[in-house]
Amino acid sequence: MSADTTTAESQPLFTGLPSGIVPYVAILGALASTYVHLSMAPMLLQLNQTQAILFVLAGVGFLAGIAVYLSKFWRREFYLVAIAFALAQIVAWVVMSGRVSEMAMLSKGGEAVFSVAAAYLYLNESPDADGAA
């Protein structure tokens, strides 16, 4: 067993709350999008089951990302995956000619804010840093 493996195994699952304001801005952006996706999924279920499932997956994806971010499993490279995930939500809304509404603006605004905050964190976190805190 290497020293890195031993250190990772002895680290608690939850690494603590992040420091600074930018991680909280990112988390709030993700939660805004999560709220919209999960609250609209039941209404969509009556109209389009596939779209409702995609809404649930989008919401759960953001929640899972936050959980991983706050855990010992987070790695700096995941910021790039998270940014791509959030931007894909915006692109999908545009491609599908999404309706402009308050909920859409909350969701897309949250995703845009999240993407900018995550890019900032990626660019300003040292490449050898482990964990979110």
| Per-residue confidence band for 129, with pLDDT thresholds at 50, 70 and 90 | low
Q: Could you read off the pLDDT of 17-56 as tens digits, one per residue?
A: 788 899 999 999 999 999 999 999 999 889 989 999 999 9
Tokens read off for 71: 């855990």
pLDDT at residue number 98? 79
Coil, helix or strand at residue 130: coil
Q: Is residue 51 part of a domain?
A: yes
Q: Is residue 59 part of a domain?
A: yes
Closest to 8 (Cα-Cα) out of 78, 75, 76:
75
How many domains would you assign to the chain?
A: 1
Closest to 92 (Cα-Cα) out of 131, 55, 129:
55
Write phi, then psi, for 71 (nearest 5 degrees): -110, 175
Q: Could you read off the pLDDT of 91-102 as tens digits, one per residue?
A: 999 998 878 999
pLDDT of 2 > 80? The answer is no
The whole-angstrom separation of Cα 15 and Cα 108 is 29
Q: Is residue 13 part of a domain?
A: no
pLDDT of 128 > 70? The answer is no
Q: Is residue 4 part of a domain?
A: no
pLDDT of 15 > 80? The answer is no
- Cα 30 to chain centroid distance, Å, stands at 5
Q: Which domain holds residue 27?
A: 21-124
Q: Is residue 58 part of a domain?
A: yes
Q: Is residue 32 part of a domain?
A: yes
pLDDT at residue number 4? 53
